[in-house]
A and B are shown apart, each in its own frame.
Chain A
């Protein structure tokens, strides 16, 4: 059952991603990205990462969509039709196919999916699962690792989030300004 859900969700994610490439109306793209986030939240639940699923559903499908829509209201929601020549469209596809082939080759060496003997599941992970109840006393191991065992890490992340807010304030803080002195359209006509 778990396996079937996993397969279906991943197939839906792949289909959504193809839709994201093809659709040109940016409103539809942003809504589809919200669906993509919700599907991945479902996938995280199937893969036992309930905390991550919760975060992805709240952040990816919720706030992220709102922020994208807020930005779209300011920059317009039409994507221009690609005007590039044939060669310029083939090049990205070639790059992506070659990189993808290399990555698929790399997955051959990954440990088997879901095997409890994989090296990643031992050393620190064992310690967290066995000792959390005695050392920290909270049942949710993710919270214990997040706030206590790896508190430095989380503090760094919190600081990064704060720095992002400072960045947005610096970029958008000055109030809306007009295009700079009409210089841009004038130069456009000159270059033609």
Chain B
């Protein structure tokens, strides 16, 4: 598929929009359907498209396997860390009310942080699994 001009240009044009859509789904999740889970999967879809057209090696230079593996762990840590921060601030684990002066704003910050953790984990996990399945059998 290396020679297909339409595919190569099409994928290059589409990928940023898919990433932008993923971020929209993530940050607009409070007001419309969406959230970290969906956004993480859509974000991976952009890179899957690039892998299909440009090949695994080219994409792994942009998005190294070690980086996505770290993402998977960082997301869980961000989620759990939010809970620890609220505990240190004197509330229950994952009780977001204390994150800001106004409880409602605290809830907003808390949901934002937690959803960001979900986004990063889902992105890292799906990309890791895809890399492992797609990269298998090439090194033989």
Contact = CB atoms under 8 A, between A and B. Distances in A.
Interface string B34-55: 1101100110110010000000
Contacts of A175: 139
Interface of B: 25, 29-35, 37-38, 41-42, 44-45, 48, 69, 72-73, 75-76, 79-80, 83, 93-94, 96, 103-104, 107-108, 110-111, 114-115, 117-118, 121-122, 124-126, 128-130, 132-134, 136-140
Interface stretch (A84-92, A102-110, A154-162): A154-162
A50 B133 contact: no
A54 B96 contact: no
B38 A55 contact: yes
Contacts of B37: 55, 59
A163 to B, nearest CB: 9
A172 B73 CA distance: 18
Contact of A165 (B41, B111, B125): B125
A169 to B, nearest CB: 6
A172 B133 contact: yes
A43 B140 CA distance: 44
A133 B126 CA distance: 33
Interface in A137-164: 137-140, 142-144, 146-148, 151-152, 154-155, 158-159, 161-162, 164
Contact of B30 (A59, A67, A138, A155): A138
27 contacts: A54-B33, A55-B41, A58-B38, A59-B41, A70-B134, A73-B137, A135-B104, A137-B108, A138-B107, A140-B32, A143-B30, A143-B35, A143-B111, A148-B110, A151-B110, A154-B79, A158-B79, A158-B117, A158-B118, A162-B73, A162-B76, A165-B124, A168-B132, A172-B133, A172-B136, A176-B136, A176-B138
Contacts of A73: 137
A164 B122 CA distance: 11
A66 interface: yes
Contacts of B44: 63
A148 B35 contact: no
A139 B137 contact: no
A94 interface: no
Nearest to B127: A165
Contact of A148 (B25, B79, B96, B128): B96
